[in-house]
Chain A
Amino acid sequence: MSFTKILIANRGEIACRIIRTVQALGYEAVALFSDADEDAPHVALADLAVRIGPADVGESYLHIDRVLAAAHKTGADAVHPGYGFLSENADFASRVEAAGLTWIGPQPEAIEIMGNKAAAKRAVADSGVPLVPGYAGSEQDDTTFVAAAAEIGYPVMVKAAAGGGGRGMRLVQTAAGLVAGLASARSESLKAFGSDELLLEKAIVNPRHIEFQIFGDQHGNVIHLGERDCSIQRRHQKVVEEAPSPAVSAELRQKMGAAAVAAAQAVNYVGAGTVEFLLDETGDFYFIEMNTRLQVEHPVTELITGLDLVEWQLLVADGQPLPLTQNEVTLTGHAIEVRLYAESPENDFLPSTGTVWLYKAPSGSGIRVDDGLRSGQSITPFYDAMVAKIITSGATRAIAMRRLRRALLQTTVLGVETNRGFLLETVNHLRLCM
């Protein structure tokens, strides 16, 4: 269905990034903002902006009725959810479609299945996608888990079936720690996701986190746009993301890419998605989950493919076929992204709030910055502490890494603490390992 005015149901850097492509393609952009965000950059960038409620996310960015009312009020005829917030909420996707608007995302059924890690595994199991040996059954009593863990072999990972972002996840080394691990994962999962359904997986030792960007259209085509290596994490949160992965050969890329496409086809996937795998030291890989949205780290894929993934999302939502076939996709050079957070590494990475008195983004050859920050802006405690993504690229990994180091030295945020120094040390460490 054709559309002309797109409501971006998000805030921060991703709202700004989506608005830019929306406007570049001639669509009008409608922004939403809470009381805490009226001076935020995404509000100033958009053609129209609607105040939807108080700072609390439940009263604003997560309030489905208010988001839909904002679309109605402004005459928006399509909704782009960004990432986080309502992006993987199947109920929201259904409500958008029921209101006669175009949903710029996958079908609600695919969101629903992939949103539950256990259901996702059941869905892709028949498609030849390798799974981590584990237990994802409906029997949820401790006795069943203890027996299953003994069969799988320790160490095991306990995970929330509805989970994401590392919450509700426990590494259990021996049988003695399992019951306690189950109890704490259950309570954390219930609090974070409203469900205490758990699953077990064999813990893969020293794995790499390799994810494939996939795209499906409404005509049954599904292709992949190569992988991203997100192995550098802190407490299960990604810190450094790069493409291509230094650990993936052309041959392995073809194998993993085919598995990623098969996983997407298992749910007739439409739009942008990410299939996540663990890659072990022997080259074996296992499906972990699929994210049914645009990822935070999508820019590294854009930089090595030369494509605009938001543009592709809009094309697909408009009913057009994918612009390229699998053989036409080329990967050139190397790209690396780091996430700049308003947080204090010296204080256990606690979020840092206050006014940013000075913000200077780095610039230059091979440097891209996706930010939602400007000097004078308040960083409030209500939302994610990520303020910018710094992405560099070059013909080789060494060039991209060197550019990233200099870009971080050029990045200035004064007024709140950030993880800039921590990122610089991480990049210096990675350069030594090359």
Chain B
Amino acid sequence: VTSGEHSFEIVVLSCRNHCLHFELDGVRDVAYFAFGLDNELWLQFGLETDSVVDVLLAEVDSADSAGSGKIIAPMPGSVLRVDVAVGDSVTKGQSLLVLEAMKMEHTISAPFDGVIDYDRWCSWGMG
């Protein structure tokens, strides 16, 4: 797991009944998790409780218009399939590629209308 400049190696020992037993830097510990609606993941570890939304599965918000223009993979994974090529015009919601992460396939859709003008990700199978 990489967070900012720091990298950690987390070994998952078991993950069932909402309990995630893991080993981090030689220390065994436990965190608790639950899934809510709308791809929401709730996590508790020690003092902290937090919820995060898995944007890979999020539906396109129709109110969204063009943002920065950059589309960055929301999490590390393997590219299973690429649906567009440089120069293609795409419309909001159209599938761009399919990522595989945690044994799940996630379709990455265009968040806004536009033209594919830079191709850094479309080598098939890249991790």
Binding site for B on A (CB under 8 A): 354-355, 357-358, 360, 409, 412-415, 417-418, 420-421, 424-425
Given contacts A412-B44, A414-B44, contact A357 B49 (CB under 8 A): no
Binding site for A on B (CB under 8 A): 18, 32-37, 42-44, 46-49, 51
A409 & B46 in contact (Cβ 8 Å cutoff): yes
A357 & B42 in contact (Cβ 8 Å cutoff): yes
Residues of A within 8 A of B47 (CB): 409, 421, 424-425
Residues of A within 8 A of B18 (CB): 358, 360, 412, 414
Q: From A358, A409, A417, A418, give the contact of B34 (CB < 8 A).
A: A358
Given contacts A414-B42, A415-B42, contact A357 B34 (CB under 8 A): yes
Task: Tell me if A's interface is mostly helix, strand, loop or mixed.
Answer: mixed
B32 & A415 in contact (Cβ 8 Å cutoff): no
B42 & A358 in contact (Cβ 8 Å cutoff): yes
B32 & A414 in contact (Cβ 8 Å cutoff): yes
Count of inter-chain pairs, beta carbons less than 8 A: 42
Residues of B within 8 A of A355 (CB): 36-37
Residues of B within 8 A of A358 (CB): 18, 32-34, 42
Provide a sorted-by-A list of 9 A–B residue pairs whose CB atoms are within 8 angstroms. Answer: A355-B37, A357-B36, A358-B18, A358-B32, A414-B32, A414-B44, A414-B49, A415-B42, A421-B47
**Complex formed: what's the CA distance from A424 to B45 in Å?**
13
**Complex formed: what's the CA distance from A305 to B48 in Å?**
35
Q: Chain A CB within 10 Å — which of B43, B44, B46, B51 has the most? A: B44
A413 & B49 in contact (Cβ 8 Å cutoff): yes
Besides A358-B33, A420-B49, A424-B47, 8 other A-B contacts (C-beta < 8 A): A355-B36, A360-B18, A412-B32, A414-B33, A414-B36, A414-B44, A415-B42, A417-B49
**Complex formed: what's the CA distance from A241 to B48 in Å?**
24
Min distance, Cβ A85 to any Cβ of chain B, angstroms: 30
Min distance, Cβ B45 to any Cβ of chain A, angstroms: 10
**Complex formed: what's the CA distance from A357 to B47 in Å?**
19
**Complex formed: what's the CA distance from A306 to B2 in Å?**
52
Residues of B within 8 A of A357 (CB): 34-36, 42
**Complex formed: what's the CA distance from A355 to B40 in Å?**
12
Q: Which residue of B lies closest to A418 (CB)?
A: B49
Q: Which residue of B lies closest to A412 (CB)?
A: B32
Q: Which residue of B lies closest to A409 (CB)?
A: B46
10 closest A-B pairs by CB:
A357-B34, A414-B42, A358-B34, A414-B34, A412-B32, A358-B18, A412-B44, A421-B47, A357-B36, A415-B36
Min distance, Cβ B32 to any Cβ of chain A, angstroms: 5
Residues of B within 8 A of A418 (CB): 49
**Complex formed: what's the CA distance from A360 to B44 in Å?**
11
Q: Chain B CB within 10 Å — which of A355, A409, A412 has the most? A: A412
B49 & A421 in contact (Cβ 8 Å cutoff): yes
Min distance, Cβ B54 to any Cβ of chain A, angstroms: 15
Q: Which residue of B lies closest to A355 (CB)?
A: B36
Q: Which residue of B lies closest to A359 (CB)?
A: B34
Q: Which residue of A lies closest to B42 (CB)?
A: A414
Min distance, Cβ A154 to any Cβ of chain B, angstroms: 41
**Complex formed: what's the CA distance from A421 to B47 in Å?**
6
Residues of B within 8 A of A415 (CB): 34, 36, 42
**Complex formed: what's the CA distance from A358 to B42 in Å?**
9
Q: Which residue of A lies closest to B31 (CB)?
A: A412
